[in-house]
Amino acid sequence: MSHHENHEAEHTPEAIRNRLRDRSNSDYLKDSILGAIDGAVTTFAIVSSVAGAGLSSGLVIVLGLANMLADGFSMAAGNFSGTRAENQSARKYRREEEEEIENYPEGEREEIRQIYAAKGFEGETLDKVVDTITADKKRWVDTMIQEEHGLPLHPPSATKSALFTFSAFIFIGTIPLIAYFLDAAFDSFSGSPFTAACILTGCAFFAIGAFKSRYTDQHWLSSGLETLAIGTFAAVLAYLIGYLLRPLVPEGL
């Protein structure tokens, strides 16, 4: 399908209806991307610092897993709390608007008029818009929620946001540890597990950035390299910290 045909398919009445109905999915995409990037950065930072300190594969796995699970849960819990607070705030504003429409209908009607007058409506057209919106209380409240408070009518689920964040965090965060699992399981593992972890994590960073570009105006190559650069900077910093602290590590670990 050509680029032009693809855009035409996206602008059919059914496609538009589905896109408007499912637009809250973009919030879960954001949660997934943030969780994936944070998971890769966090786990690989641990791997880098521990590798810089010259510790064993077993300790890398223990510290990496412990940190990944703790940080993944912390990030998911924070996302849950933040999304839940936003949803509770939206419900509070809805109750307030319902009370104000009930008690001060003329004032709320004037707000609708001014909102749409600012959009360029005037005369009979403006009167019809105001009459149509204020004829239905739910439509009236929905309009005030969107236009006055700038809130979505269908906010994302706090539970789903947390699950998407945690799942992406754990899935991508495990990648830097794969080489160490293999090294611990097979004595004949070929090559340095840290080198393999660097390659695997670099590929993960690039893939996340390239995928993110599908939902931004950034080219996939530029987005991939940008995310890779961010992850590389975090890894180098963590490795240097571990290397500098190496003299404090007891021998035999």
pLDDT mean over 137-148: 92
Report DSSP letters for 53-119, one per residue.
Answer: TT--HHHHHHHHHHHHHHHHHHHHHHHHHHHHHHHHHHHHHHHHHHHHHHH-HHHHHHHHHHHHHHT
Q: For residue 222, is it within any domain?
A: yes
Choice among 119-128, 198-207, 237-246 with the minimum mean pLDDT: 237-246
Q: For residue 21, is it within any domain?
A: no
Residue 252 falls in which region: left (phi positive, over 0), alpha (psi -120 to 50) or beta? left
The tally of domains found in the chain comes to 1
pLDDT mean over 27-42: 83
Supply the mean pLDDT for the chain: 84
Residue 252 or 47, more confident: 47
DSSP state of 217: S
What tens digit of pLDDT does each residue of 58-105 get? 888 888 899 899 999 999 999 999 999 989 998 999 999 999 999 999
Percent of residues, the chain, with pLDDT higher than 90: 42
65 contacts 198 by C-beta, under 8 angstroms: no
Q: For residue 232, is it within any domain?
A: yes
Q: For residue 56, is it within any domain?
A: yes
Q: For residue 182, is it within any domain?
A: yes
Q: What whole-number distance in Å separates Cα of residue 208 and Cα of residue 175?
A: 13
Nearest to 38 by CA among 172, 228, 197: 172
The pLDDT of residue 191 is 62
Q: For residue 217, is it within any domain?
A: yes
The pLDDT of residue 247 is 75
Can you give the pTM of this predicted structure? 0.74
Q: For residue 118, is it within any domain?
A: no
**Domain, as residue range, for 199:** 27-102+157-246
164 contacts 38 by C-beta, under 8 angstroms: no
The pLDDT of residue 165 is 92
Nearest to 194 by CA among 61, 23, 25: 61
